[in-house]
Every structure is written in C-alpha cells, then in structure tokens.
Amino acid sequence: MFKGSIVALITPFKNDKLDESNYTEIIHYHIKNGTNGVVPAGTTGESPTLSHNEHKKVIEIAVKECKGKIPVIAGTGSNSTSEAIDLSKHAESAGADGLLIVTPYYNKPTQEGLFQHYKSINDKVGIPIIIYNIPSRSVIDMSVDTMARLNELKNIKGVKDATGDLDRVTEQLKKMGKDFLQLTGEDDNAIEFNKRGGVGCISVTANVAAKLCAELQKASLDNENDKALSINKMLSPLHKALFIESNPSPVKYAASLLKLAPSELRLPLVQIKESTKKEVENALKFAKLL
C-alpha cells in the first residue's frame, strides 16, 4: 500500500504566499526521480502556519498532480479532534489515498484520549490512516498497547514512527503483525528500521535527494544490503545536517541551493545560521548533489 521513499513535502512560499506553481514543479521532480509517495501538509510542509485554505489547497494540488502515479498521504492532524476530522474529510473528498495524523500536541491527552481522538477520525472517513508518533514534538508517546487497540479499527493501517527507538519496531511487529505498516520518520535509521520489519521512510532528506532516497529504500527492501549501505554512507552527513536546526529550515536552504525552491520560511521559523549553511552545503557536496 504505502512503502519505500515517501517524501514529507516542503511548502514553497513567495512573498509569504503559497507558490502553487513551484509546488507543482516540486511534485513532478519527485515523480520523475522515483519517489514512492508524497505527504503534503506535514510538519516539513510547515502545517502549523498554513491557513486552513492553504492546507486544503496543497492537498488538492498533490492529488491532482500525483493521481494515478504515486500515492498521496495527506497530513491532516491537529490537537483539535474536530479540526482533524474536517481536514481528513476534505482530504478524502479531494482524492487522497491516505491520511497521516499526528498525535495531538500541547494538550497532552492520556492514552485513552489518544484512542478516542483517532477513533473519532476513523469513524468519519473511509481511507487508510497512518498514526504519526513523534514524542519530541508532541510531548506524548503513544504506547504499543494503544496502537494495538487502534489497529482493530477499520481504517488504522500503520504508523510513522519518529520515536527513534528501534526496539519499538520489533514490539509493534509482534503486537500488530506484518500487515500493520511501519514507516520510519527518521532518515538516519531507515536501513535498520526496515531490517526489523519496517517498509519505508517518510523522509525529509528526499526533498533534496529524491533519487538517492528512492534507490536506498529499494535496495533495503530488496535485501541488497551492501548497495543500501553504500547509498546511506553518501547521505548520512545530509541526514544529520538537515536537523542541526529546526526542520524544515535546513532542508529549505538545501532546496534553494539546488534551485528546487526558495528558502523562504514563515515565522516563528527563521533562516539558518551561517555555520549551519556551511554544514548543509558540505553535506550536499559529499552526496554529489551540489
């Protein structure tokens, strides 16, 4: 269903407005370079500062451009259940293939609150839902037991795991089985994640290294370990450089160097420091992308 290199798309801005033309170009760059799926309006797409209209628009553009080519997993999470339902219903009506829904941030629900949040969304849509578990941003961590309860619902199909804990892959595989899709949210652990039962990565690095990330995932999933490790060696400095400062500031700078998109961000995100720029540039050169 969803596997391989799935990009968490950046959202290009021009004079603080969504640049629809550039967004379309970015999507076609991914289709051309073998990316296996796209996620519009995720964290990397600066969803917290997109207006509701912009949020819906980027999903609509992604669906229009990707239809029949690669799947679209729309970012529709919110810490307001009603808002998440509204965004999810819109994404489904627009033609998205699936939904990526982050654990509610800031209001810190209990495990029961998490279950009820996802169940409420599940009951209002008819397309696959991928849970996005990222304690570093949301503060809360969905337990494996809560995930197993959710897995019994009709639309819950997998997880984007950004816990950084590889043992979770094994635990989740034992509890939910191989039909529960496990995608890493951490580019730098993608190979080991797949070895333990994962099926791909929702990637930041793929924004600027689409072909290499797609090749790495294919090699990894085909058990061509030497090839996967060789590609990962090229990309490893880039994985690190893109998280020296808060995502997506570094990856937008990298995209600007490759003339894929401008580095423009929305506050409270700002341009990266000169020292970080140098790290990003060196990492792109190491990967032979610049």
Across the range 237-251, mean pLDDT stands at 98
Where does the chain have alpha helices with state H? 20-32, 52-66, 81-94, 111-122, 135-138, 144-151, 167-176, 190-195, 210-221, 225-241, 249-257, 274-286
Any idea what DSSP says for residue 271? P
Classify residue 285: in a domain, yes or no: no
**Residue 12 lies in domain:** 4-224
Across the range 77-88, mean pLDDT stands at 98
Classify residue 267: in a domain, yes or no: no
Classify residue 152: in a domain, yes or no: yes
Across the range 114-125, mean pLDDT stands at 98
Classify residue 271: in a domain, yes or no: no
Across the range 84-89, mean pLDDT stands at 98
pLDDT confidence band for 46 (50 / 70 / 90) = very high
In this predicted structure, what is the pLDDT of residue 209?
Answer: 98
If one counts every other C-beta atom within 10 angstroms of the C-beta of residue 14, the result is 13
Residue 124 burial by Cβ neighbours in a 10 Å radius (0-12, 13-18, 19+) = middle
- pLDDT cut 70: percent of the chain above it: 100
Q: How many domains does the chain have?
A: 1
Give residue 106's region: left, alpha or beta (phi > 0; psi -120 to 50). Answer: left
Global pTM?
A: 0.97
Cα 101 to Cα 79: distance, rounded to the nearest angstrom: 10
Across the range 63-73, mean pLDDT stands at 97
Here the CATH number for the domain that contains residue 36 is 3.20.20.70
In this predicted structure, what is the pLDDT of residue 228?
Answer: 98
Which candidate, 272, 263, 202, places its Cα nearest to that of 14?
263
Cα 176 to Cα 145: distance, rounded to the nearest angstrom: 9
Classify residue 283: in a domain, yes or no: no
Across the range 112-118, mean pLDDT stands at 98
Torsion 151-186-21-86 (CA) sign: positive
Is residue 16 within 8 A of residue 266, CB to CB? The reply is yes
Name the average pLDDT for the chain. 98
Check pLDDT > 90 for residue 1.
no
> 221 vs 100, 182, 211, 224, 225, CA distance in Å?
22, 13, 15, 8, 9
In this predicted structure, what is the pLDDT of residue 262?
Answer: 98
In this predicted structure, what is the pLDDT of residue 154?
Answer: 98
Kind of pairing between the strands at 13-14 and 17-18 = antiparallel
**Which residues are annotated as catalytic?**
132, 160
Apex 49 CA angle, 123 and 8, nearest 5: 65
Classify residue 189: in a domain, yes or no: yes
Residue 6, phi then psi, degrees to nearest 5? -115, 120
In this predicted structure, what is the pLDDT of residue 60?
Answer: 98
Classify residue 175: in a domain, yes or no: yes
In this predicted structure, what is the pLDDT of residue 174?
Answer: 97
Classify residue 253: in a domain, yes or no: no
Helix axes 81-94, 52-66, angle to 10 degrees: 30
Across the range 137-148, mean pLDDT stands at 97
Across the range 89-109, mean pLDDT stands at 97
